[in-house]
Amino acid sequence: MADLYSVQNLRLSLADMTAKPLMGAAPLIDILHGLSFTIPKGAVVGIVGGSGSGKSTLGRALVRLLEPSGGVIHFDGTDITHLTERDLRPLRRRFQMIFQDPMSSLNPRHRVGTIIAEPLRLHGFDAIPDRVARALDQVGLPRSFAARYPHELSGGQRQRVGIARAIALEPDFILADEIVSGLDVSSQAQVLNLLEQLVRDLGLTLAFISHDLSVIRRLCQRTIVLYRGQIVEDRPTADLFADPQAAYTRELLDAIPLPDPGQAWA
């Protein structure tokens, strides 16, 4: 199977604003310390780690919302590491992102229809109203929701709008960054089921960032565990759960409170 993403020795540094002197530039802080991995076409890959592990930074580098400071990212054979915004634009349609907090990633002043239509217009699609309607169908929202505002929807419904906006562009790759962590368990389950089905039906490649190994286990065939900007484990999910290799993976697993009063939790 061909690789959709191929990442070699990816490094990324950001300005550490908490250490910025009053005058002059903030010192750089290394977030990602040379990551190498591939994402084959059609794969569903989980990226897991604690806060500050660099998982969101990695995600943002993959969809080039951030520019790496070292290494190479190939997307479907094209080196996108340092492409300019102008050269990226035709590619942007092909890698889409779904954000964690739909309250801040959906414009509160726009109706759902406009929110889904805007990127379609930007990328020069035709028959936009039909595409918006189809996207709503695909995520299981009534078409009448096109006329609603984000605040009129529940958390789960808002997250579906985020998914509809991403899939309307017929992308090859979707990056989902903690998209269910703000939801109740039941809505969580619904959104995960939906995502699973869309990946299957549309042949998408998915990278799913989460701090929740239970969710990763359900959704992803392969899991990358990040710890302090380094990959400590990258294996098929079933193997990772059966026999975690890295100490940090074991620590993550042990920390999950199972809904079971009998679980030893020392």
What is the distance between the alpha carbons of residues 87 and 89, in angstroms, rounded to a whole number?
Answer: 6
Q: What is the 3-state secondary structure (H, E, C) of 57-103?
A: HHHHHHCCCCCCCEEEEEECCEECCCCCHHHHHHHHCCEEEECCCHH
Closer residue to other proteins (CB): 79 or 251: 251
Nearer to other proteins, 52 or 129 (CB): 52
Q: Which stretch binds other proteins (CB under 8 A): 8-16, 81-89, 131-139, 186-194?
A: 186-194
**Residue 247, both tokens:** 């100490």
Site residue total, other proteins (CB under 8 A): 34
Q: Which part of the chain contacts other proteins (CB under 8 A), choosing from 23-31, 37-45, 164-172, 185-193?
A: 185-193
Rg (CA), the chain: 19
> Do you know the residue count of the chain?
266
Give me the 61-100 binding string for other proteins, x by CB under 8 A, dash otherwise: ----------------------------------------
Binding to other proteins by CB under 8 A, coded x per residue (else -) over 136-175, reads: -------------------x--------------------
Strand partners, 73: 7
Tally Cβ neighbours within 10 Å of residue 126. 7
Identified binder of other proteins from the candidate list 192, 209, 224, 231, rule CB under 8 A: 192
Query: Per CB under 8 A, which region of 6-14, 76-84, 91-99, 183-191 contacts other proteins?
Result: 183-191
Cα(19)–Cα(139) distance, integer angstroms? 43
Contact in structure between 232 and 226 (CB atoms under 8 Å) = yes
Among 57, 157, 159, 190, binds other proteins (CB under 8 A): 190
Single-letter residue type at 135? A
Query: End-to-end alpha-carbon separation of the chain, Å?
Result: 43
- Figure out which of the listed residues 193, 197, 221, 245 binds other proteins, where binding follows CB under 8 A: 193
Q: How far is the CB of 193 from other proteins (least distance, A)?
A: 7
User: What is the smallest separation between the CB atom of 258 and other proteins, expressed in angstroms?
Assistant: 6
Range 19-58, binding other proteins (CB under 8 A): 50-51
Nearer to other proteins, 148 or 211 (CB): 211
Spacing of C-alpha 103 from chain mean position: 16
Number of Cβ within a 10 Å radius of residue 20: 12
Which residue lies nearer to other proteins by CB, 25 or 266? 266
Burial label, 12 (beta-carbon count in 10 A; 0-12, 13-18, 19+): buried
Site for other proteins in 201-260 (CB under 8 A): 211-215, 217-218, 241, 251-260
Nearest distance in Å: CB 81, other proteins: 29
State CA 159 to chain mean position distance: 13
Query: Given the rule CB under 8 A, which residues bind other proteins?
Result: 18, 50-51, 155, 184-190, 192-193, 211-215, 217-218, 241, 251-261, 263, 265
